[in-house]
Structures are given as C-alpha cells and as structure tokens.
C-alpha cells in the first residue's frame, strides 16, 4: 500500500495503476485500496499543501493519478459503483468558461470518497439547481474566475431556498471569489483552495451523520 501512496503522491498514474492491480491480485478489496491507499495519499498531499504551499502542478498530477486509479477500480460501466460519503454537485456558472478550479475540486472530493456530479462550465443556474435536487446533493460548489458571475452567484442561495433546497450547503471558490466574504456572496462558505473546501465538506458530512 505504501508504494501506491508514493506513486500517487509522485503523480505517476501508470505506476499507480500497476500498484492497484498488484494489491487486487494480493486480495485487497476495492474499498480497502481506497481508504488505506488513495485517501491516505490525499491526506498527505493535504498536509503538504497546508504546511508548504498549495501548488496546482502537484495537485493536478496527483489528481490525474487518483482519477486513473478510481477508473481502474470502478470502470464507468462497473456493476457495483463505489460507496460514497454523499453527493456534491459542482459547476462554473453561465458566462464563466474557466473550469480548471472546478476540475481540481472534482478530483480532490472524489478521492476522499464523495460522489461528484460535474455540471461543467458555462452552466445555467436552473440546470445547476436541477442537478442538486436530482442527485440529492448535500453540498454544491461553484468555482469562479471572473467578477461578472457574482450577481448570478448571489442569487443561487435564494433560488435554492425557493425550491425547498435550503438544507443544501453552498460553497464558492476560485481566484476571484475567494477574495470575497461568504456573507457578501450569499453563500455558506468561501473555500481558499480545494483542500479548504474539502475540510468544510468533511465537517458538513460529519454533522450530517
């Protein structure tokens, strides 16, 4: 398992997949590989990013390796989808076509065992809220890189409340949005980076249980 953790942290996708297959051959279950391998690697990356420097390159490489491993363990057409800690819907709102931040969120949340539904970039508000409802999300996340989406973002909370979805927590993040307060954006939390968002998610998931 240590080798899997190391290859994931090195961002070596091909080697990580080889390690996963070795573990499976040795009788390790999918769930154990995730909890003792993938999640441990993400915890170490989280600690490193907190202590040193949040660094997109390392996160992206590790995230790519993690997504490769998850795909290996749970192919899209697999009969038994992974157990999850709950559904999270993420998007970049209509008018915003920057999706890197959202993609990072997706990788980090997936690796921690959440089911992430990606509404993509340039996503109309109604479609985003429809997804939150259909997927019974407990948190929704919006990543934003431009100030022009802010008026739209400020409407999300009220629109969700009107639809009876007031119980779903709303996170915002991204280079521009993180300069604002949660109150000013009318959201529940403003994440300073993907792991900060993850900590909030874990906290809410813990409260939920």
C-beta closer to other proteins: residue 61 or 182: 61
d(CA 83, CA 177): 32
d(CA 179, CA 202): 23
Interaction with other proteins in 57-116: which residues (CB under 8 A)?
57-58, 60-61, 64, 95, 97-98, 100, 103
C-beta closer to other proteins: residue 67 or 125: 67
C-beta closer to other proteins: residue 35 or 184: 184
* Minimum gap (Å) between residue 50 Cβ and other proteins: 13
Beta partners for residue 88, in sequence order = 116, 139
Backbone torsion region of residue 146, taken as left when φ is above 0, otherwise alpha when ψ lies between -120 and 50, otherwise beta? beta
C-beta closer to other proteins: residue 106 or 165: 106
Strand order in the sheet with 169-173: 115-118, 87-91, 139-143, 169-173, 189-191
Find the part of the chain contacting other proteins (CB under 8 A) among 33-41, 82-90, 142-150, 154-162.
142-150
**Residue 160 DSSP code:** H
Single residue of 50, 136, 148, 161 touching other proteins by CB under 8 A: 148
| Encoded tokens for 119 | 């509404």
Our finding on whether 182 is near other proteins (CB under 8 A) is no
CB 177 within 8 A of CB 144: yes
Task: List, in order, residues 6 or more apart from 108 with CB less than 8 Å away.
Answer: 42, 59, 63, 194, 195, 197, 198
**Which segments of 32-157 are extended strands (E)?**
87-91, 115-118, 139-143
Our finding on whether 11 is near other proteins (CB under 8 A) is yes
* Minimum gap (Å) between residue 96 Cβ and other proteins: 8
Single residue of 25, 27, 53, 164 touching other proteins by CB under 8 A: 53
* Minimum gap (Å) between residue 6 Cβ and other proteins: 16
Single residue of 1, 3, 146, 182 touching other proteins by CB under 8 A: 146
Q: Give contact residues for other proteins (rule: CB under 8 A).
A: 11, 53-58, 60-61, 64, 95, 97-98, 100, 103, 146-148, 175-176, 179-180, 184
């Amino acid at each position: 398992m240590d080798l899997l953790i190391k290859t994931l942290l090195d961002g070596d996708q091909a080697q990580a997949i080889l390690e996963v297959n070795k573990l499976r051959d040795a009788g390790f279950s999918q769930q154990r590989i995730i909890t003792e391998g993938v999640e441990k690697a993400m915890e170490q990356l989280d600690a490193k990013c907190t202590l040193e420097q949040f660094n997109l390159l390392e996160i992206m490489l590790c995230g790519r390796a993690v997504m490769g491993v998850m795909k290996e363990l749970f192919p899209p057409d697999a009969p038994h989808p992974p157990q999850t800690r709950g559904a999270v819907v993420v998007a970049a709102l209509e008018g915003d076509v920057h999706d890197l931040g959202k993609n990072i969120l997706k990788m980090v949340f997936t690796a921690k065992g959440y089911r992430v539904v990606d509404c993509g970039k340039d996503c109309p508000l109604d479609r985003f809220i429809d997804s939150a409802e259909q997927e019974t999300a407990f948190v929704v996340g919006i990543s934003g890189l431009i100030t022009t989406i802010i008026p739209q973002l400020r409407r999300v909370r009220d629109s969700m409340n009107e639809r009876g979805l007031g119980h779903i927590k709303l996170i915002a993040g991204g280079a521009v949005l993180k300069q604002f307060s949660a109150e000013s954006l009318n959201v529940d939390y403003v994440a300073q980076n993907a792991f900060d968002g993850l900590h909030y998610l874990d906290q809410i998931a813990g409260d939920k249980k």
